Amino acid sequence: MTAKPRGRRPGSNDTADQILAAARELFAERGYARTTIRAIAAQANVDPALVHHYFGTKDALFDAAVQMPVDPRQVMSGLPDDPRAIGPELVRRVLGVWDRPEMQERLRGMIGSALTHEGAAETLREMLTRGLLPVLRDLALDDDRRDWRAELVAAQMAGLIVGRYVVGLPRLRRASSADLVASVGPVVSHYLTGRL
């Protein structure tokens, strides 16, 4: 096959963005360890050296690729007070984040990489322990089991995300957000404020 010409390409190119897009897609699909600089370069149609030129190390590329355009914690602000409404609203918002393609790709990149990239694992841990759990704790019934309640909700939400977006169970995957909110929302309300 014909070799690529050397030197700068004519015209204006957004090669760095193409590299980032390729990185995001492959990190989401294969995880950190199984994604190579060469594979990313091939998908972006550049030389592997250019990846390093723009992003430095593979690690730095990963960080740039999974940078969130929106802070997921912000979706947790201003939740209703009504116990019956909290659960459905919470589920709706979490699914709302995940159903945005640009967020989903990054989050899947994070999750898929958490086992082979300590930074990803750390970031997810922070999102959970400093992001989600305190909010859930504040929403929970003010008995002496608020933390317990918060962790039960976190587990339920984690399972929902794994089922729908990671493992991809068929009905969970193609269900509408409304159906999921209808079925899982009341359970979340129950965990938060119901009788356990």
Alpha helices in 36-176 (DSSP H): 37-44, 48-55, 58-65, 83-98, 101-113, 118-126, 133-139, 146-161, 170-174
Which residue in 131, 137, 159 sits closest to 150, CA to CA?
Answer: 137
Q: Which residue has the tokens 């050397």?
A: 6
CA 147 to mean position of chain CA atoms: 23
User: Does residue 191 belong to the site contacting a second copy (CB under 8 A)?
Assistant: yes
- Smaller CB separation from DNA, 5 or 78: 5
Contacts of a second copy in 125-154 (CB under 8 A):
125, 128, 133, 147-148, 151-152, 154
- Smaller CB separation from a second copy, 18 or 163: 163
User: Does residue 184 belong to the site contacting a second copy (CB under 8 A)?
Assistant: yes
Helical pair 58-65 and 101-113, crossing angle rounded to 10 deg: 140
CB of 119 to DNA, least distance (A): 13
Write out the H or E segment, with its range, that includes residue 22.
helix 15-30
Contacts of a second copy in 19-38 (CB under 8 A):
31, 33-34
CB of 110 to DNA, least distance (A): 17
Q: Which residue has the tokens 């959970």?
A: 128
- Pick one of DNA, a second copy, none as the site partner of residue 36 (Cβ within 5 to 8 A by kind): DNA
Burial (CB count <10 Å: 0-12, 13-18, 19+), residue 82: exposed
- Smaller CB separation from a second copy, 51 or 110: 110
CB of 85 to a second copy, least distance (A): 18
Which stretches of the chain bind DNA, using CB under 7 A? 3-13, 15-16, 35-38, 45-53, 56-59
Q: Which stretch binds a second copy (CB under 8 A): 18-26, 70-78, 98-106, 166-174?
A: 166-174
Q: Which residue has the tokens 């999750």?
A: 111
User: Does residue 159 belong to the site contacting a second copy (CB under 8 A)?
Assistant: yes
- What is the residue type of 32? Y
User: Does residue 110 belong to the site contacting a second copy (CB under 8 A)?
Assistant: no
Which residue in 83, 84, 192 sits closest to 140, CA to CA?
Answer: 192
Binding site for a second copy (CB under 8 A): 31, 33-34, 112, 115-116, 125, 128, 133, 147-148, 151-152, 154-160, 162-164, 167, 169-172, 175, 182-184, 187, 190-191, 196
